[in-house]
Structure 1
Amino acid sequence: MKVLEFEDLKAEDSLLLTFDGAFDTQAALASELEPLFQMLEKYADGWMPDVIEGKRRRKYARAAIWKALEEQRHERGTTIGFYRTNWPALSMTLSLYFPTTPPKLDILLKVEPLSFFAEEERCRQLVELVRTWASRYLISHALAHGLADNQLSSAPNFGREMQTSIRDGFDKIYEVSWLNVFGPKLVEAVGRKRMLSTPAHRVEELPNGSVLLVLWPTAADFASDEAREAQARAHAHLRPDLDFDTLLRTLRERSAALAPVEPRFHPDVAPILSRVVDSVALHERQRKIAEFNTYQPPEPDEWLPSESALPPDIGDPVRARAHYGDLAEHLVALLHSKVPSVFDASPESLTDVDFHFWQEEFPRVFEREHIDAHAVPAIGAYLGEVLVRHLGGQWIPRQKLEEAQVLVGKRVWLPFVRAGRYMRSCQSLLDFSLTQLYRVAERHRS
């Protein structure tokens, strides 16, 4: 059963919802969790999950939930996932932890795109869902906000060491999100009267002593200047020790960091740079686009005019060309499981190879002697084979691999020299990409 993966969509911001609560283990698990799913089905307007995943995927149904929870159960707890098969994409994880006191009920939920929550009524439904959950289960803290901005806030550590963050959790108002539920302990730490007088779109005291706070009618425009002012006012009110102007300046800087930047990449390396951009964290994406907009890769110089080509110095050119083919197959053997397109030996597969080596930080992770002895020859031969197959190139064999050439039009290219430069460092994977050399060779083939 195929679910909609976030990677299948255009990279966009998501709505993040986290719910840190607790449940009663004295009650039967099904009856204790029944209200959670009743409210989900009532209020998940347009983003209701239709797939449950435990040990295997099943269609959403109450019986399937209980089955998945039981399948995944171990001595410390149980965790199951919820997904959708249609737009918008959903990833929701329900985790129950039994050894803690009280036992924990944690929900981590993402819906992409965030723009799905631009409508006020849909956002109101989401608020009602969280409100009913927080009224039913003992809660420590809950939030809903844009994922990228949440990352910029350095949540959940907020500048603390990991162990400190795990130990203390959300023990003070480090950040105010679009939607917040502050548990009784946090409310008392701030002061109930102060908490209930927070300037915000909606402030409501819940029956169990928690307080619901919503900054703004809609989640999707959290980065507008008006919403940022509301966010800074609420935060400064809840934390009188913090300065409003400083908070607002920081929030505006975060909005600027998230403002869309139009990609204007160098055309010869645009395919690989686009892949790199899509792989970085959402909150870093626009900065990376701006950085790559000014990036100019070195012009490939691994070539000679055809009249300056080194002549073949191998007695059996057919055997030599077969050897290059065998070397190229070594790259196919190395990458075929992670880069299926490597079988195609196509221009597109060169970009896939570029991205794989960059993502894996291959030149940094693997030993230099193995890279030089095995990876470089395989990459050089593979690049040469693509030039031969798709640009009508011809191998000019040489005893030394670095001297082997591929004749394309009025130039001969040195694929093994390129591969050696390519594998020098992680930055070299971009500066000397296979994608770029192919595109330049393609332009000069006639």
Structure 2
Amino acid sequence: MKVLELRGSNAEDSLRLTFVGAFEPKVALEDALEPFLQATERYSGGWMPEVVSGKRRRRYSRATFWNALEERRGERSTGSYFYRTHWPTLEMSLGLSFSPLAPELNIMATVQPLSFFAEAERCLQVMELLRAWASHYPVSHASAHSVADRGAADAPRFGRDMQTSIRDGFDKIYEVFWLNVFGPKLVETVGRERMLSTPAWRVEELPNGSVLLVTWPTIVDLASDEARQAQARAHVHLRPDLDYATVLRTLRERSAALAPVQPRFHPDVAPLLSRVVDGVAIHERQRKIAGFNAYQPPEPSEWRPADAALPPDVDDPEAAREHYGDLAEHLVALMHTKVPSVFEATPESLTDVDYQFWHEEFPRVFERRNIDAHAVPAIGAYLGEVLVSRLGGQWIPRRKLEEAQVLVGRRVWLPFVRAHHYMRSCQSLLDCSLTQLYRVAERHRS
């Protein structure tokens, strides 16, 4: 069954709900989860799950939900996943742990786009959903917040190493999100009276001793200066050891970092940089765009005027050209699973190859001797074959690969030299991209 998938972590911001609580292990699981199901069905509104998944996906119903849990049932845990087939996109997980582990109920939901919650009524439904969950299940900490701003806050590590963050969890007020549920232990750590007097848009004590705190009426305004001031006031109230001016400055810096930046990439590498940007974490994306807007790739140096071309020095030029084709096939064999377009040998496939090498950090990860012996010849030959097939180029074979040339218009290009430069480092994948060389060669072919 086809479901909507989140557009990476990067294309649009999303709402992230997190809930870590406990359930009563002595009652039937159907009874224990009834409050979860009732609240989800009542308050999820326009992002209600439509598909539930255990080992396979089914249309959501109570019956298929229980089927999913049974399919994934192990000795100590079970869980299920929820999706939608219509906008907005939803990815939601429910995890349950059983004895001898602590009886934990762990919920995470991501709804994309964040703009879906521009209406105050939808934000109120999120508040009521978290309130209902927290009223029925003992909770340590729960939240609803922007995925991008969570990333900017380094959640859930908050500057700690991974092991420490796993061990300690949210054991103190590291951050005040848009919506927070602080469990009784956190409330007592801060002081119940202080917690309940927090200057925030909504502060409510729940029946089990938890406190629901919402900083601002709507989450889409989170990065506005007024909302940041409210967030800072709440944070320093709960953490008197913090300085208001410092907290507010940090929040304003986060807002500035998340402010949209219009891409204005150098046209020769724009297709590649757009792909790279799409792969960057959303909280870092705007800064990356701004950096790439200022980026000017070095002009390709791997060429000579046509009248300075080296003449062929091989006994059988046709066999040499066939050898270049065989080398290019090595790249196809290496990349075809992750880059299906490599079969087409087009300008677009060059960009796809560029991005894949960048994504894999290929020059850093693989051994230099293997890169030089196998990857560089395959990349150079593939680049040369694209110049031949798409720009009407002609191979001028040479005994040494680094001297082999492709004549396009009034220039001869040295694809194996380019490949050597390209594979020097991860930065070289951008500075010496296959995409750029092709575009420059195309521009000078007449």
Range of TM-score over shorter length: over 0.9
Indicate the SS of the match to 1:6: coil
Letter of the 1:230 partner, please give it: A
Letter of the 1:113 partner, please give it: P
Asked whether the 8 Å contact 2:118–2:219 carries over to 1, the reply is yes
Letter of the 1:348 partner, please give it: E
Shifted more, 255-264 versus 70-79: the winner is 70-79
Task: Indicate the residue corresponding to 1:77 in structure 2.
Answer: 77
Asked whether the 8 Å contact 2:9–2:281 carries over to 1, the reply is no
Task: Indicate the residue corresponding to 1:111 in structure 2.
Answer: 111
Matched, 1:252 2:252: yes
Task: Indicate the residue corresponding to 2:335 in structure 1.
Answer: 335
Asked whether the 8 Å contact 1:23–1:102 carries over to 2, the reply is no
Task: Indicate the residue corresponding to 2:146 in structure 1.
Answer: 146
CA RMSD of aligned residues (A): 1.4
Indicate the SS of the match to 2:390: helix
Deviations 1:184-214 (A, max 9, x none): 1111111111111111111111111111111
Indicate the SS of the match to 2:188: helix
Q: Matched residues in 1 for 2:99 and 2:223: separation? A: 40
Deviations 1:402-433 (A, max 9, x none): 11111111111111110011011111101100
Q: Matched residues in 2 for 1:242 and 1:303: separation? A: 59
Asked whether the 8 Å contact 2:81–2:91 carries over to 1, the reply is yes
Task: Indicate the residue corresponding to 2:296 in structure 1.
Answer: 296
Letter of the 2:442 partner, please give it: E
Q: Matched residues in 1 for 2:142 and 2:440: separation? A: 53
Task: Indicate the residue corresponding to 2:5 in structure 1.
Answer: 5
Task: Indicate the residue corresponding to 1:67 in structure 2.
Answer: 67
Q: Matched residues in 2 for 1:10 and 1:87: separation? A: 17
TM value normalised by structure 1: 0.97
Indicate the SS of the match to 1:223: coil
Displacement of 1:399 after TM fit?
Answer: 1.2
Indicate the SS of the match to 2:7: helix
Matched, 1:88 2:88: yes
Asked whether the 8 Å contact 2:10–2:281 carries over to 1, the reply is no
Asked whether the 8 Å contact 2:15–2:113 carries over to 1, the reply is yes
Letter of the 1:363 partner, please give it: P
Letter of the 1:241 partner, please give it: D
Q: Matched residues in 1 for 2:76 and 2:160: separation? A: 26
Indicate the SS of the match to 2:92: strand
The within-5 A match list for 1:46-57 is 46-57=46-57
Letter of the 1:331 partner, please give it: L
Task: Indicate the residue corresponding to 2:58 in structure 1.
Answer: 58
Structure 2: give runs of 5+ residues left out of the alignment.
none
Asked whether the 8 Å contact 1:94–1:108 carries over to 2, the reply is yes
Q: Matched residues in 1 for 2:367 and 2:31: separation? A: 56
Indicate the SS of the match to 1:75: coil
Shifted more, 221-230 versus 31-40: the winner is 31-40
The within-5 A match list for 1:197-236 is 197-236=197-236
Letter of the 1:129 partner, please give it: L
Letter of the 2:22 partner, please give it: A
Displacement of 1:76 after TM fit?
Answer: 2.9
Q: Matched residues in 1 for 2:166 and 2:237: separation? A: 26
Q: Matched residues in 1 for 2:340 and 2:388: separation? A: 20
Asked whether the 8 Å contact 2:18–2:144 carries over to 1, the reply is yes
The within-5 A match list for 1:219-368 is 219-368=219-368
Asked whether the 8 Å contact 2:406–2:412 carries over to 1, the reply is yes
Shifted more, 91-100 versus 38-47: the winner is 91-100
Asked whether the 8 Å contact 1:69–1:78 carries over to 2, the reply is yes
Letter of the 2:299 partner, please give it: E
Letter of the 1:357 partner, please give it: F
Indicate the SS of the match to 1:220: helix
Q: Matched residues in 2 for 1:6 and 1:425: separation? A: 31
Matched pairs, number: 446
Deviations 1:209-244 (A, max 9, x none): 111111111011101000001101111111122121
Task: Indicate the residue corresponding to 2:127 in structure 1.
Answer: 127
Displacement of 1:277 after TM fit?
Answer: 1.0
TM value normalised by structure 2: 0.97
Asked whether the 8 Å contact 1:39–1:129 carries over to 2, the reply is yes
Change in Cα spacing, 1:282 to 1:9, as seen in structure 2 (3 Å) is closer
Matched, 1:404 2:414: no
Letter of the 1:421 partner, please give it: H
Q: Matched residues in 2 for 1:436 and 1:349: separation? A: 13
Displacement of 1:294 after TM fit?
Answer: 1.2
Indicate the SS of the match to 1:249: helix
Asked whether the 8 Å contact 1:363–1:426 carries over to 2, the reply is yes
Displacement of 1:102 after TM fit?
Answer: 4.1
Task: Indicate the residue corresponding to 2:25 in structure 1.
Answer: 25
Asked whether the 8 Å contact 2:272–2:435 carries over to 1, the reply is yes
Shifted more, 267-276 versus 308-317: the winner is 308-317
Shifted more, 172-181 versus 158-167: the winner is 158-167
Structure 1: give runs of 5+ residues left out of the alignment.
none
Asked whether the 8 Å contact 2:23–2:103 carries over to 1, the reply is yes
Indicate the SS of the match to 1:7: coil
